[in-house]
Amino acid sequence: MWNLKDRIVLVTGGSKGIGRAAVTEFLELGAEVLFTARKEMDIRAFEKELSGKGYKVQGMVSDVSVAEDREALVRKITQDYGKLDVLVNNAGINIRKSALDYTEEEFSKILAINLIAPFEFSRLLYPLLLKGKKPSIVNVASIAASVDVNSGSPYGMAKAGLLQQTRNLAVEWAQDGIRVNAISPWYTATPLTEAVLTQKDRMDPVIATTPLRRVAQPEEMASVIAFLAMDKASYITGQNIIVDGGMSVSAF
């Protein structure tokens, strides 16, 4: 079925960008959606917007890099739902600098949010996923995991680690019926890339090397995330779908 009716979905970093679009996509497909964000103001504003469209959604304040916040979130889901069908590890952060300019704190923060948090959420939510219907995990990686796109070394390293995490868990948990996949976006119009998108000297080469000659919209990532969570994708696991407008296969 091309829907996710009655599935319980958790999207981390769900108030902005790709996560926000994913929340909306899952709701449109009939799922019951929970999402996290760090700022309560952002959560309430998004909840109000969705409520006005007739959707019921629950947002929760959580810093995914903090162990106590992760554990509290899992307790909340366990208490309210007792299961989870889909986990979308989307929350991300980046700090663009040359390799020599990063502080140890910045490096650790990038790894904590982009790599460690998805691993810990996957492990903490494993018992609830076992109780879910055809459960799956979708990790939001980046094209920076595979090639250098001037995003900064720590970000690329973290996303590359996330891809390997995807493969490892896909194999290990296949026997439990849990599928694990990833998507790797190219430049997408989100708050994370907003500052870069306005820099003509940086974006002109990006557009020139992208066959579709434009950046992506968050909704174009959300639709792929949702597909990977559907029953129609039931034989897909351990895969990384590159969503880049053809950039990675173009020589010019």
Residue 89 sits at φ, ψ, to 5 deg, of -85, 90
User: In a 3-state reduction of DSSP, which class is residue 179?
Assistant: strand
Tallying the residues shown for the chain, one arrives at 252
- Annotated catalytic residue, options 55, 155, 187, 235: 155
Confirm if 140 and 183 have CB atoms less than 8 A apart.
Answer: yes
Distance CA 12, CA 205 (A): 31
Confirm if 29 and 5 have CB atoms less than 8 A apart.
Answer: yes
Name the β-bridge partners of 161: none
Place of tokens 């958790």: 10
Instruction: Decide if 155 is catalytic.
Output: yes
Positive/negative CA dihedral, 182, 188, 192, 193: positive
Distance CA 166, CA 155 (A): 16
**Residues with catalytic annotation?**
155
